[in-house]
Amino acid sequence: MVSFMWNVRVLKYNQMKSRHPIPAKRHSPRTIASIVLGVISIISASIALIMTIGMYFGMKAGQEGIFILVFLVPPLMLISFIISIIGICLSSGTLKGKWLNNSGLMLTFSPILMVIMYILYLWLAEHYGIRSGRS
């Protein structure tokens, strides 16, 4: 404990004594681009997921639901997938960029899982007589 305190005091003294302060670590442009692409990927995948969930809860299976599932959700998923792959290729060794892009990549396929869960629910309801709580 004493040696740790001594090292801290020496470091503070050396920093005060030096004329040039230690510059803050700057991220490279590739790292910043990777982080931005990860955020954009997460947002677009989340919008697609919200549309899929909204179609299930809000609308009856009519033309609006088909329009959303065919013309709006797949392009958002494709955009999210492409942006995530580009962001993963750009993030060279940074954990934040890789984490954001991997999260966006996982969220990309969540609307498909929601549709599969709904189809499984309908199949179980048909074969085992499960009733939904909705009226």
- Domain assignment present for 19: no
Domain ranges, residue 104: 31-123
The stretch 97-119 carries a mean pLDDT of 89
Q: What is the mean pLDDT of the chain?
A: 78
Residue 44 CA: distances (Å) to CA of 49, 75, 77, 131 = 9, 10, 7, 33
Residue 62 structure tokens: 């009519």
- Domain assignment present for 17: no
- Work out the percent of the chain whose per-residue pLDDT is above 70: 70
In the chain, the number of structural domains is: 1
- Domain assignment present for 18: no
Total-model pTM: 0.70
In tens, the pLDDT along 54-68 reads 777 665 556 667 777
pLDDT at 90: 85
In tens, the pLDDT along 82-99 reads 999 999 888 776 788 889
